[in-house]
Structure 1
Amino acid sequence: METLKDYVTHYYTSDYNCAETLLRAANDYYQLGMTDDDMKTMGGFGAGMYSGMVCGALVGSVAAISKKVVKQRAHATPNMNRIVQSCVQDFKNRLGAVDCKDVRPMHHTTEEKCLPTCLLAAETLEQVMASIE
């Protein structure tokens, strides 16, 4: 696989939820060093924490960013708030909303389910990661 979107497509079509997909794809693409066991932490974040709240693809993206930039803890990480705010704003601009209940009607399809959402989230993640490297 060559691109982040390739990894996203691979994981989403392998039946991982949107949060798992983004973190797993980012882990492989950016070589974040997370284990399969670490990935289990994302299980409850799909479908907006199964309540239509913040989109799991956004949560998975923020988790990947956190793994990339936090060395000890978030409060000791310079510009952490700016980096995450940038991710959230770009996601909202790109997808039209941040909550699953609002994103889903715009981007979910019967055939692809939330893959289009995950691919757009990958574009946001790539932009943010490029800005911090």
Structure 2
Amino acid sequence: MIADRIRDGYGEEEKLNCAEKILYASNEVYNLGLDKNALKLAAGFGGGMCTGDLCGAITGSIMVLGTMFVKNNGHESDKIKKLIQELISRYKEEMGYIDCIPLKENHLDEQVKCRNIIVKAAEILDDIIEREAK
């Protein structure tokens, strides 16, 4: 699962940001078939889109949900909208925030940095994917 990999330090040696860690790990775990150029799409979403806004772990998770549950575009059904709303709602309920700055202020660990923040998004994402795959 994605959460287990990130918990074990996935992407730290490569200096991946939070969005990249979610997308790259998901690509491997769920065989998304994303090539190097597709993976680079996550580069600007780390650190709350480099502005401290919506956490990159969430935006990376949204990229994964779109890749897995959208055939052509986001307007084809309400499914992607509902999955994203669930992801954000559950994350906010468990962590208290969805924006990078307050998440870091309240959950950053000096030793593992944002790892626990990213793991929480990955746990919720894993849960949604497992349920939807059934």
Give the Cα–Cα distance (whole angstroms) in 1 for the partners of residues 83 and 32 of structure 2: 17
Quick check: 1:12–1:18 contact (8 Å CA) kept in 2? no
Letter in 2 for 1:7: R
- Percentage of matched positions with identical amino acids: 29
1:15 aligns with 2:18: no
Q: Which residue of structure 2 lines up, in the alignment, with residue 50 of structure 1?
A: 50
SS in 1 for 2:11: helix
TM-score calculated relative to the size of structure 1: 0.92
Give the Cα–Cα distance (whole angstroms) in 1 for the partners of residues 75 and 34 of structure 2: 21
Shift, 1:43, TM fit: 0.6
SS in 2 for 1:16: coil
Letter in 1 for 2:10: H
- Change in Cα spacing, 1:131 to 1:26, as seen in structure 2 (3 Å) is same
TM-score calculated relative to the size of structure 2: 0.91
Shift >6 Å, 4+ stretches: none
What are the residue-to-residue correspondences of 1:18-97 with 2, within 5 Å? 18-97=18-97
Alignment length (residue pairs): 131
Letter in 1 for 2:2: L
What's the CA shift string for 1:32-60, capped at 9, x where partnerless? Answer: 11112211111111000111100000000
Give the Cα–Cα distance (whole angstroms) in 2 for the partners of residues 107 and 12 of structure 1: 18
Letter in 2 for 1:42: A
**Where do 5+ consecutive residues of structure 1 fail to align?**
none
What's the CA shift string for 1:73-114, capped at 9, x where partnerless? Answer: 010034221111001111111221100011111221221111
